[in-house]
């Protein structure tokens, strides 16, 4: 029996209105195709594992959502598969293999997606792994609304954050978004602003040694 993670519920609830139906649709479809899947968060986005291996993942951004199969390069990409997105949409940069999703209709139909997922499960069953040298497709580190609001209210912290390299910004963003409780998240946002105002990175304590 599959396992659901309450953090995924919170992620969906916090997503933009257009994205929620897409995420709910994908979540239910994955569970239907793979009853033994286990939900988790990886790179601050919902992911699904099967037999301990990553099966697929989804994410919601400000203006689009995305869905990707971990071994999608072995499964998706044939024009005859009938994905809902147009060729121009697919050309846009996005996590996964289905372009920028703005509605459920942008996805392939349930039958096609279920087929993809079953192929992905078969690859895992057969011990097939990702091609060597391919890096994990990480979604862009988009600034959450609560952090963005706090940064707008503090020019010094905002300046430091904007001057940080992407990896340093991601460390703060993931620390905040991985909080399980709203109170914890609020404290982390406040701490982030304090440290940024002092020009500090997320792991500055360890850098002092």
pLDDT at 131: 55
Question: Looking at the structure, do residues 152 and 121 belong to the same domain, yes or no?
Answer: no
Question: Looking at the structure, do residues 10 and 57 belong to the same domain, yes or no?
Answer: yes
pLDDT at 56: 93
Count of the separate structural domains present in the chain: 2
From the CB of residue 101, how many other CB atoms can be counted at a distance below 10 Å? 28
Question: Looking at the structure, do residues 86 and 165 belong to the same domain, yes or no?
Answer: no
pLDDT at 42: 86
Token code pair at residue 109: 């139909």
Question: Looking at the structure, do residues 153 and 80 belong to the same domain, yes or no?
Answer: no
pLDDT at 78: 41
Rg, C-alpha atoms of the chain: 19
Question: Looking at the structure, do residues 12 and 70 belong to the same domain, yes or no?
Answer: yes
Question: Looking at the structure, do residues 108 and 156 belong to the same domain, yes or no?
Answer: no
Assign residue 45 the CATH number of its domain: 3.90.1150
CA–CA distance from 24 to each of 69, 155, 162, 205 (Å)? 17, 37, 33, 39
Question: Which of 92, 125, 158 finishes a domain?
Answer: 125
Question: Looking at the structure, do residues 21 and 117 belong to the same domain, yes or no?
Answer: yes
pLDDT at 103: 93
Assess if residue 1 is contained within a domain. Answer: no
Tell me how far apart the alpha carbons of residues 89 and 109 are, in angstroms, rounded to a whole number: 17
Question: Looking at the structure, do residues 82 and 183 belong to the same domain, yes or no?
Answer: no
pLDDT at 33: 92
Assess if residue 16 is contained within a domain. Answer: yes
pLDDT at 132: 45
Question: Looking at the structure, do residues 81 and 179 belong to the same domain, yes or no?
Answer: no
Token code pair at residue 45: 């986005």
pLDDT at 25: 96
Cβ-proximal residues to 170 (8 Å cutoff; 6+ apart), any chain: 141
Question: Which of 96, 125, 154 finishes a domain?
Answer: 125
Low-confidence ranges of the chain (pLDDT < 50): 78-93, 132-136, 207-209
Assess if residue 120 is contained within a domain. Answer: yes
Task: Quote the domain boundaries for residue 107.
Answer: 6-125
């Amino acid at each position: 029996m599959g396992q659901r993670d309450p953090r995924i519920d919170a992620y969906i609830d916090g997503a933009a209105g257009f994205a929620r139906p897409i995420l709910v649709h994908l979540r239910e479809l994955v569970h239907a195709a793979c009853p033994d899947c286990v939900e988790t968060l990886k790179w601050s986005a919902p992911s699904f594992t099967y037999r301990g291996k990553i099966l697929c993942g989804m994410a919601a951004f400000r203006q689009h959502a995305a869905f990707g199969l971990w071994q999608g390069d072995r499964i998706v990409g044939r024009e005859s598969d009938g994905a809902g997105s147009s060729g121009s949409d697919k050309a846009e940069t996005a996590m996964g293999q289905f372009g920028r999703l703005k509605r459920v209709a942008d996805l392939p139909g349930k039958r096609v997606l279920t087929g993809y997922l079953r192929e992905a499960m078969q690859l895992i069953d057969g011990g097939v792994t990702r091609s060597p040298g391919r890096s994990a497709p990480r979604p862009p580190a988009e600034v959450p609304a609560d952090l963005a609001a706090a940064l707008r209210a503090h020019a010094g912290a905002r300046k430091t954050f904007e001057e940080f390299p992407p990896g340093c910004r991601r460390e703060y963003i993931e620390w905040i978004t991985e909080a399980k409780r709203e109170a914890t998240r609020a404290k982390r946002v406040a701490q982030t602003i304090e440290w940024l105002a002092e020009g500090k990175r997320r792991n500055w304590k360890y850098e002092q040694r």
